[in-house]
């Protein structure tokens, strides 16, 4: 029987340790926080690896047991930067507890779930370890820039081959079982520089980009209006534009970046090809613009009756006395890298996603306690303890 007061104290202590260790992006250095995590898991009896493709961006994988099923739990350990320090009521690098809430940079996204997973890893070994299958905990960097050096690298290297992937994140202990895909692309338009006093003698790259974007919107907006699945929508956001170098010069180049969010049944490669084709039919000379794929992954929508999600749903109902809510995701999670692998993927953890990346970030301690007990029960149902 878990003593909930002791559990709350342990979680608070772990959170305090994590918040004091900077892991902000930029620069995205996760070495110190990985050292802390590795030491705890190694002490508990796990086989630990620190894996990195890029100096400074470390990832930890800790495993116990062997064979199937492999239950993989993940948290990202990088955070956004502090932002305006004056907006914080307390030191963002010190855990502050007030009215049952823990404040600090990354408390909600994603050090709250990280603390849960550390406690869970130690609790599993106190109970003697999994009776069947393998449990793997991963802690990744490079998430806040959607980069390739975190979870993408772990999948490519074969460090994780899960049957069930549980991604820790702020869902208020509800479930996210479907997630949209994401596509980022860049368009670069070129022209010819000239004096700003004689614009007709040049070829204005910004005006070309305006024509390209107007054509894109005329084609895509009606298409996207029909692409819906429940509360989820297929969307397009023009997120960044940069062009010219001085106001008195006709700009010779202009760059624009677009964020496309895809329904789970849309394919990221096909979505990119669709947009390339639209640009190619814009009427602009082909040699005057270039479309570049930046990053992209498909969405996922696993069946709710799978063994992993079923175990998690049963554990939530046992703890909270109600069936879990299935909520919609605006952002993307690390689970997306396994979207094409035919596995169960779910997002679950304490905290409200709406407070992520904001000053005075916080997570309720009672949600952390509930989440920890739910996760322990889930592991017991799937692997035995």
Q: What is the pLDDT of residues 12-41, one digit of tens each?
A: 999 999 999 999 999 999 999 999 999 999
What does the pLDDT read at residue 146? 84
Average the pLDDT over 188-201 and give the result: 97
Residue of 118, 113, 131 lying closest to 64 (CA atoms): 131
Where are the domain boundaries for CATH 3.40.630.10 in the chain? 4-179+300-383
Does residue 353 register a pLDDT over 90? no
Q: Is 289 within 8 Å of 300 (Cβ atoms)?
A: no
Dist CA 58 CA 29 (whole Å): 8
Does residue 331 register a pLDDT over 90? no
What does the pLDDT read at residue 120? 98
What does the pLDDT read at residue 58? 98
Would you place residue 199 in the very low, low, confident or very high pLDDT band (cuts 50, 70, 90)? very high
What does the pLDDT read at residue 233? 95
Q: What is the pLDDT of residues 40-52, one digit of tens each?
A: 999 999 999 999 9
Dist CA 59 CA 147 (whole Å): 13
Question: What fold does the segment set 4-179+300-383 form as a domain?
Answer: Aminopeptidase (3.40.630)
Q: Is 190 within 8 Å of 252 (Cβ atoms)?
A: yes
Q: Which residues contact 31 (CB under 8 A, 6 or more apart)?
A: 56, 58
What does the pLDDT read at residue 140? 98
Where are the domain boundaries for CATH 3.30.70.360 in the chain? 183-296
> What is the rounded end-to-end Cα distance, in angstroms, of the chain?
13
Dist CA 380 CA 310 (whole Å): 13
Dist CA 170 CA 77 (whole Å): 13
Q: What is the token pair recorded at 316?
A: 């939530």
Q: Please list the alpha-helical segments (H only) found in 180-232.
A: 205-225
Three-class SS of residue 280? helix
Dist CA 46 CA 64 (whole Å): 6
Radius of gyration of the chain (CA): 23
Q: Which residues contact 289 (CB under 8 A, 6 or more apart)?
A: 187, 188, 189, 190, 208, 212, 279
What does the pLDDT read at residue 261? 96
Q: What is the pLDDT of residues 117-155, one digit of tens each?
A: 999 999 999 999 999 999 999 999 999 988 899 999 999
The string of DSSP letters for 76-133 reads E--EE----GGG-SS-TTS-EEETTEEESTTIIIIIHHHHHHHHHHHHHHHTTS-SSS
Q: Is 136 within 8 Å of 66 (Cβ atoms)?
A: no
Dist CA 275 CA 212 (whole Å): 11
Does residue 158 register a pLDDT over 90? yes
Three-class SS of residue 53? strand
Total Cβ atoms within 10 A of residue 362? 22
Average the pLDDT over 364-384 and give the result: 98
What does the pLDDT read at residue 1? 80
**Beta bridge partners of residue 186, listed in sequence order:** 257, 292
CATH architecture of 183-296: 2-Layer Sandwich (3.30)
Would you place residue 239 in the very low, low, confident or very high pLDDT band (cuts 50, 70, 90)? very high
Residue of 278, 329, 307 lying closest to 383 (CA atoms): 307
Dist CA 237 CA 207 (whole Å): 19
Dist CA 86 CA 2 (whole Å): 40
């Amino acid at each position: 029987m878990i003593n909930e007061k002791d559990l709350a104290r342990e979680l608070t202590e772990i959170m305090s340790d994590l918040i004091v260790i900077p892991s902000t992006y930029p620069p995205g250095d996760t070495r110190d926080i990985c050292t802390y995590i590795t030491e705890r898991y190694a002490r508990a009896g796990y086989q630990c690896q620190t894996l990195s493709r890029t100096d400074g961006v470390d990832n930890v994988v800790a495993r116990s047991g062997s064979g199937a099923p492999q239950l993989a739990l993940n948290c990202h350990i990088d955070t956004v930067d502090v932002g305006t320090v004056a907006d914080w009521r307390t030191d963002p690098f010190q855990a502050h507890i007030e009215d049952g809430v823990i404040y600090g940079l990354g408390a909600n996204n994603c050090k709250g779930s990280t603390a849960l997973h550390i406690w869970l890893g130690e609790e599993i070994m106190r109970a003697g370890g999994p009776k069947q299958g393998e449990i793997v905990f991963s802690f990744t960097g490079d998430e806040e820039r959607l980069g390739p050096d975190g979870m993408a690298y772990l999948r490519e290297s074969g460090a994780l081959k899960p049957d069930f992937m549980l991604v820790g994140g702020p869902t208020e202990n509800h479930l996210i079982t479907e997630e949209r895909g994401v596509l980022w692309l860049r368009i670069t338009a070129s022209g010819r520089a000239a004096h700003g006093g004689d614009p007709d003698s040049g070829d204005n790259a910004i005006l070309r980009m305006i024509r390209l974007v107007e054509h894109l919107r005329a084609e895509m907006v009606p298409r996207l209006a029909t692409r819906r699945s429940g509360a989820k929508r297929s969307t397009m956001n023009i997120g960044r534009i940069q062009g010219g170098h001085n106001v008195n010069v006709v700009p010779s180049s202009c760059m624009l970046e677009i964020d496309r969010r895809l329904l789970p049944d849309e394919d990221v490669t096909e979505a990119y090809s669709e947009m390339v084709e639209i640009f190619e039919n814009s009427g602009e000379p082909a040699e005057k613009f270039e479309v570049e794929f930046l990053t992209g992954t498909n969405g996922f929508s696993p069946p709710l009756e799978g063994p992993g999600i079923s175990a998690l749903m049963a554990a939530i109902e046992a703890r909270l006395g109600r069936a879990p809510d299935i909520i919609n995701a605006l952002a993307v999670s690390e689970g997306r890298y396994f979207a094409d692998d035919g596995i169960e993927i779910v997002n679950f953890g304490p905290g409200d996603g709406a407070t992520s990346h904001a000053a005075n970030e916080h997570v309720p301690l009672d949600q952390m306690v509930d989440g920890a007990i739910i996760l322990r029960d889930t592991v017991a149902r799937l692997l035995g303890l």
